[in-house]
A and B are shown apart, each in its own frame.
Chain A
């Protein structure tokens, strides 16, 4: 019964997506074209092509080692931090190939936020954690920092819990609060895209469900791309789903409802229904 409700909801979302597409508001923000990534001789992604729409939640699912996180890191060029890593093909952010010679990864990352698998707040106060991005990006002087910190914490649904202790240590918060702090930190500089790499996998179910609710809200303002192991999570919160399978191949990309109810590819169906992976 609940499955049916769920699919009902997903289908209605799909209709909505279509409408917005006709409005022309769901533009492509991130698009990959024949993107391949290698670590030394190992190929982690092979010829991935995908158009990720603006202000939607796009989930990336697939078994371990299928290149989900590699794909995420290639969007904001965090792969640059891994020596031996080599990228072929194109990855466009608002139409610009981020692997062009004239792209500074620092400038790119200032427009794409990221939330990591386990909460990684800096060993600083809550306030300084949220303000960090604005400060390193030189925006701290142009904006009302207090206001921006408050805005980010509110967007991350953390404000009410921490407003009286902004000076206390970020690491003193609970795991779920730390992760929401990291989300606040990522969105404080007002990026266009927020990348999330299994943001709830280190959290208990209650904390995880708070983050899931939050992610749906974030998609009103930001384009969210989330890697997840958890298929129920992908089904619950995403508008679009990309399924990667072993070998770094993007097997199918479609509306989430379609992926979970009527996938084209037999391997996707097998994976979704738990036959392997």
Chain B
């Protein structure tokens, strides 16, 4: 009844301007957040559209406006089971397996280098290193992470393959060419170490000191605390770093094409040249292939496969995170 006279004025009428600002800020932030979502959707549509052109000889939009109709140009069975990849040769061969194999073998080989070394580095930094050593090592790792990947490629061409891989090859009596699978392992493995070590170290540092104290007070050694307390408690973060490093290795382009080469083949010989999916794309996507040509559209088909592979890795990462989430408090 007499709301105007009883109690303080809490209507907030004088806050109108603040509320408008609040709403606008919210719109701005939402706008920024939607950019990434829209980009992802657009990227996927472009990939899918062009890949349709590769398999069915027509882009989806061309069919939608009635300009073209679908006709199978490359069969899925050839694409996914064929063992020869040469879409631009005559006669063309559309088996994607050799370059998928190239990507997988490089990724797995690189993981054998980056995961153990990265984890050990993280354990050293988080549990063993004196503060002054830690402070010296961390910036170096960050520099390693910041080197452009093309520079790693030069490193592979000028040092890793001609000096290191050749020397190892000589032990087996194999002469190594300019490119080699092993060179790819070493370069991609090395460049993903900082990713594993820095994210894993953050995860280890986040393990509450109470847990370490509890173990030390029971007469555990540093090794036992590191391995039985810190490592399991930090597992979800460590796994996340592994998946990130693996995704990075799958998508790595410049360094791997300069290190491992351009020869698509299904080989297990680490001294031979191979080709990854990314190397195929970078070697063809230099502007010489005409838009709409088979080689142009094959880029998108391969890109779609790559996209699905990294997406799977990321989904797997989410699953692992949920599965192994350590609850410590």
Contact = CB atoms under 8 A, between A and B. Distances in A.
Partners in one complex: yes
Interface of A: 76, 78, 81, 83, 106-114, 116, 118, 120-124, 132-133, 136-137, 169, 171, 182, 185-186, 189, 195
A81 B131 contact: no
Given A123-B327, A171-B328, A78 B233 contact: no
A113 B328 CA distance: 22
Nearest to A80: B216
Nearest to B232: A123
Given A83-B131, A171-B327, A122 B215 contact: yes
B7 to A, nearest CB: 39
A132 B218 CA distance: 8
A133 B216 contact: no
Contacts of B72: none
Contacts of A114: 213, 217
Interface stretch (B40-48, B221-229, B275-283): B221-229
B219 interface: yes
Q: Is the interface of B mostly helix, strand, loop or mixed?
A: helix
Q: Which of A76, A109, A122, A182 has the most CB of B within 10 A?
A: A122
A116 B219 contact: no
Q: Is the interface of A mostly helix, strand, loop or mixed?
A: mixed
Given A123-B327, A123-B328, A189 B218 contact: yes
Contacts of B228: 132, 136
B210 interface: yes
A31 to B, nearest CB: 21
Interface string B198-232: 00000000001011111111111100100011001
B326 interface: yes
Contact of A120 (B210, B219, B220): B210
Interface size of B as a range: 20 to 34
B220 A106 contact: yes
A112 B208 CA distance: 22
Nearest to B217: A114
Interface in B235-249: none
Nearest to B329: A171
Given A83-B131, A122-B229, A123-B233, A136 B210 contact: no
A81 B212 CA distance: 10
A195 B221 CA distance: 19
A178 to B, nearest CB: 11
Contacts of A107: 219
Contact of B218 (A123, A136, A171): A136
Contacts of B215: 122, 132, 136
Interface string B313-329: 00000000000001111
B219 A110 contact: yes
A185 B214 contact: yes
Contacts of B210: 116, 118, 120
B220 A136 contact: yes
A120 B327 contact: no
22 contacts: A78-B216, A110-B218, A111-B219, A112-B217, A113-B217, A113-B218, A116-B210, A118-B210, A122-B211, A122-B215, A122-B233, A123-B211, A123-B326, A133-B218, A136-B218, A136-B221, A136-B224, A137-B219, A171-B329, A185-B214, A186-B217, A195-B217
Given A123-B328, A136-B215, 4 more contacts: A81-B212, A116-B210, A120-B213, A132-B218
Nearest to A115: B217
A92 B232 CA distance: 36
A120 B211 contact: yes
A132 B212 CA distance: 13
Nearest to A138: B219
Nearest to A128: B228
Contacts of B233: 122-123
Contacts of B213: 78, 81, 114, 116, 120
Contacts of B217: 76, 78, 109, 112-114, 116, 186, 195
Contacts of A182: 214
Contacts of B212: 81
Q: Which of B130, B208, B212, B228 has the most CB of A within 10 A?
A: B228
Nearest to B221: A106
Contacts of A110: 218-219
Nearest to B326: A123
Contacts of B329: 171
B271 to A, nearest CB: 45
A78 B209 CA distance: 12
Nearest to B209: A81
A116 B214 contact: yes
B219 A81 contact: no
